[in-house]
Structure 1
Amino acid sequence: MDSSHSPTANISPNAEVSITSEKATIGLSSVSSISSKNHEYPDGKIKPAGDVEKAEDMTGDSDSEEIDITLKPETMTFPDGGFGWFVVLGAFTIQFCCWGFNFCWGVYQQFYVNNQIFPGAGLSEISWSGGISSASIFITTPFQTKMVATFGLRKVIATGIIISGSGMILASFATSLWQLYLTQGFMYGFGAGMALFTSVAIPVQWFEKKRGLASGITVAGSGIGGATLAPLNRYLISKVGYQWALRIMGISVITLVCSILACLRTRVTPSVKGRPLLDVAMFKNSGFTAMYFMGMLVTFGYLTPVFLLPKFVTDLGMDPTVGASLVSIFSGVNAVARIVLGFAGDRYGPLNVLIISTIFTGLCCWVLWMNTHGLTMAIVFVVIYGANAGGFNSLFPVVAADIIGVETLAATVGLLYSGNFFGNLLGTPLASTIVTASGGSYKWAQVYAGAAPILAAALLIVLRFKREKRILVRM
């Protein structure tokens, strides 16, 4: 393909640069790999030193985007510590607040339904707010490189967290479903997405040898946030009411994130010009298409157990606090699993580990959740489900980088993750509708929640054996 149309990276003269690609996600990020020395690409081939190579253009479009990455002089080496740990702290805090509160939706959903806060609205109607919230987080992903280049990192994060926190506060005044959808749904998710995906790529710019550890700590913030905030919100609702619980959370999130903005300092200044934000020609790449639909399928089922568990256990006759505790356990286990499965992927191959963890995510719903009739089995389910579900968060971007190329992923990550929008928007509401249509039985919703990751794993298996037919091979 004609490389003259591909993304380019302009490096300051006299610079010896070595930036290796890595993951950083709750969901996404990668840093392009550029070197003035011999460079090893993800496919294992060694490229000779010399001028910086242009990433392969997947479209051949003469109007394609030029991505200009300017490195400041201090970025010639990686600190691997020092101020970088403050950057990790800042990104961890944003993950803690934004994803952590999102994991608490099931607590509010159970309270809204059981107490008829919105008269006439049942589980299937109220669950749309959680779906809208989770989906809205991904709306800004295609635009974030341009937003940071235009307005600056801290301004984008501050704006996002103010919108998100304001959504929580305004939700406390909601008297109808459309107001709930707009505030706790859209406003919260839209703002959280601006802060989450803008910040998550920053820690990898400060680390090389300890990059996996830094990334793992960052994304673990979401699970630790859910483990902490779910019981806290349940407690606040019981003590001061759901309205003041929302107000307290909104004010706290804005205050906490704005207080750590000074910790977030980028070492790479992006400038994006020309190319369409969503390059749909990427779907001609079979690897990209497989990863896009894999991510979409997983998210159709991923949050379904988390959001339905509080209502599920109260329907079994348990106290409402049990549901919050189960969400907390899931989130804590999920946080640890993201780090552990990330290390496992380094050793045994990220694609191999992602396939196995995704299969077990689905099987947990079929084998464990469908046979849960008491507290003990509920705990067993959330522990094993949380342990396997963490693989998607930590390994999806690593596998995507390996399959479609680091440089291509850096330019198309927004499009890749846009598929998650549909799964997050429709997944839980669809499951809730199934519960309602089944007369309150969760059986078919559990079947559905397990089928989504199983189908996603099937896509990965096909993709893997197209690349390598031998089973015992690290990849």
Structure 2
Amino acid sequence: MAEMALPATALLAPVDSKTNTTPAPETERVIESFEVSGPHANVAEQEDIPPDGGYGWVCTACVLLVNASTWGVNSAYGVFLAYFLSHSTFSGASRLEYALIGGLSISQSLFISPLIGLCNEKLGTRISLLIGAMLVSVSLLASSFTTRIWQLFLSQGVCFGYGLGFLYIPASTVLPQWFDKKRSLSMGIASSGAGFGGLVYNLVAGAAIQGLGWRWTYRILAISTAVVNVTCALLLKDRNKMVKPKKQGFNVREFGHISVVLVILWGIFTELGYIVLLYSLPDYAISIGLSANQGAVVGAVLNVGLGVGRPIIGLLSDRFGRIDTATGMSPPATALCGIFVLSLWVPAHSYAVLLLFALAIGSVTGIFWGTVAPVTAEVVGLQRLPATFGMLVLPLVIPTVFAEPIALGLAASYGYLTAKIFVGCMFLAGAASTFALRSWKLVEGEGWRSPVTAGD
């Protein structure tokens, strides 16, 4: 490692006047870690210290609103899905085709992550975000004019997914640059936007479909998302000049790190459960005799849990350790998702029990998207975060596409009980993956420390 260029007077080790000795090597490292002023200072060697606040809270609010107007709007497709299934809106369309659209939008946002990383590197964060804002609004507007199911595939599925990716991925890699000790809390607050946005958009979509029709509902969503996403894209700022992330948006070598592979497995298993919950609860409510409005309320309550639970999980992650919390060894997280599904959703055959389950599962589900950026930053560091983050979400394309079709297929052939058990087991497998990640880091001997001790 190259030594820092220091003034000539700084090259002489200070001598203790009482003991006539030079400082210990540890003391020398502390002295060298301070910022050196003057023409000889090597600024490139100085480690960036996130401000842990300031304009970072403005960025947190922006990412919260972006999540609300992307993930929140996407979750409202569950309301459209229930309506399309009950009214056979598109002639000749099957349940499988309807189910594929919701997962397709998420999978496409992940599929183009290498392209997003390249655009983010060449064009900058703001331009990438503006591209995403345009694609999301255009996709929703185009959906309002569709007359064939394949057209809805292209608009609601592909185009919306591209817009979601261009907004979510750059925004998620910016926010960790502003925080250190409060990193998980800020990400938890920002990711709660998906829950609160889902609450608002589920209720709005449910009411608008009944009063204005599904076409005008899409147009209302197109206008609202354009206003919110463009505003946030203009306000959100990165700290790339200080952090100096590696200029490589596509690096297949990331797949060679066991820690990255374990994070990917965590994402695959949890997405197979999360996508099903996100889209199936309104349809499940109708299948047990509840009304479409009650189904929309169930979906909204799930999003209330998301909005409330994610900031709490972020706070606990900063306090007890990000990997520990994600594992479920400390406060509730991935493991509790499986427990809630098997203990509450399996016997849920009434409106009251289903609402209780939706609130409980919402408080802990979707933890992957709420904590993956801070966890990945802990695993690989801030400089590798953009490249690694873009690569680790790429393998999630397959589970996000097929999760809902698998669940609807199981429900159609064997009843919803098998789908419930499938979802519960996937969350438990996800918890096992994060437990393996924590164990690997400990065995690897990289000095994994809880923030409690790290801050002492």
TM-score w.r.t. length of structure 2: 0.81
3-state DSSP class of the match of 2:363? helix
Structure 1 residue 449 corresponds to structure 2 residue 388: no
Separation in 1, partners of 2:433, 2:56? 37
3-state DSSP class of the match of 2:158? helix
5+ long unaligned stretches in structure 2 = 8-24, 36-42, 444-448, 452-456
1:240 shift after superposition: 0.5
1:256 shift after superposition: 2.6
Instruction: Classify 1:257/1:466 alpha carbon distance in 2 versus 1 (closer, same or farther; 3 Å).
Output: closer
1:273 shift after superposition: 8.0
Contact 2:50 2:179 in 1 (8 A): no
1:390 shift after superposition: 4.4
1:370 shift after superposition: 1.3
Instruction: Give, as a single letter, the amino acid of the residue that structure 1 aligns with 2:438.
Output: R
Instruction: Give CA-to-partner distance per residue, 1:271-293, whole Å, 9 cap, x none.
Output: 88875x54333333222211112
Contact 1:348 1:474 in 2 (8 A): yes
Instruction: Classify 1:48/1:112 alpha carbon distance in 2 versus 1 (closer, same or farther; 3 Å).
Output: farther
Contact 2:246 2:384 in 1 (8 A): no
Q: Out of 442-451 and 229-238, give the one that drifted further.
A: 442-451
Structure 1 residue 288 corresponds to structure 2 residue 243: no
Q: Out of 301-310 and 284-293, give the one that drifted further.
A: 284-293
In structure 2, the partner of 1:57 is none
Instruction: Classify 1:231/1:286 alpha carbon distance in 2 versus 1 (closer, same or farther; 3 Å).
Output: same
TM-score w.r.t. length of structure 1: 0.78
Separation in 1, partners of 2:102, 2:114? 22
Instruction: Classify 1:202/1:402 alpha carbon distance in 2 versus 1 (closer, same or farther; 3 Å).
Output: closer
Instruction: Give, as a single letter, the amino acid of the residue that structure 2 aligns with 1:152.
Output: G
Choose from 273, 279, 285 the match for 1:307.
279
1:103 shift after superposition: 1.1
Question: Equivalent pairs: percent with the same residue?
Answer: 23
In structure 2, the partner of 1:464 is 438
Length, aligned pairs only: 411
Greater percentage in helix: 2
Greater percentage in strand: 1
1:363 shift after superposition: 2.2
Instruction: Classify 1:140/1:156 alpha carbon distance in 2 versus 1 (closer, same or farther; 3 Å).
Output: same
3-state DSSP class of the match of 2:369? helix
Choose from 364, 368, 377 the match for 1:392.
368
5+ long unaligned stretches in structure 1 = 5-10, 15-37, 40-45, 53-68
In structure 2, the partner of 1:173 is 145
Contact 1:294 1:459 in 2 (8 A): yes
3-state DSSP class of the match of 1:309? helix
Contact 2:67 2:194 in 1 (8 A): yes
Instruction: Give, as a single letter, the amino acid of the residue that structure 1 aligns with 2:358.
Output: V
Instruction: Classify 1:312/1:209 alpha carbon distance in 2 versus 1 (closer, same or farther; 3 Å).
Output: closer
Instruction: Give, as a single letter, the amino acid of the residue that structure 2 aligns with 1:116.
Output: S
- CA RMSD after TM alignment: 3.2
Separation in 1, partners of 2:396, 2:76? 19
Separation in 1, partners of 2:244, 2:413? 50
1:212 shift after superposition: 4.7
1:121 shift after superposition: 2.4
Q: Out of 442-451 and 389-398, give the one that drifted further.
A: 389-398
Instruction: Give CA-to-partner distance per residue, 1:203-248, whole Å, 9 cap, x none.
Output: 4444556555443322221111001110111011011000110011
Choose from 336, 340, 344 the match for 1:360.
336
Choose from 371, 379, 383 the match for 2:347.
371
Flag the structure with larger Rg: 2
Separation in 2, partners of 1:79, 1:434? 46
Structure 1 residue 135 corresponds to structure 2 residue 107: yes
3-state DSSP class of the match of 1:200? helix
3-state DSSP class of the match of 1:371? coil
Structure 1 residue 345 corresponds to structure 2 residue 310: no
Instruction: Give, as a single letter, the amino acid of the residue that structure 2 aligns with 1:184.
Output: Q
1:396 shift after superposition: 3.0
Choose from 142, 150, 162 the match for 1:190.
162
1:266 shift after superposition: 2.8
1:257 shift after superposition: 2.0
In structure 2, the partner of 1:265 is 237
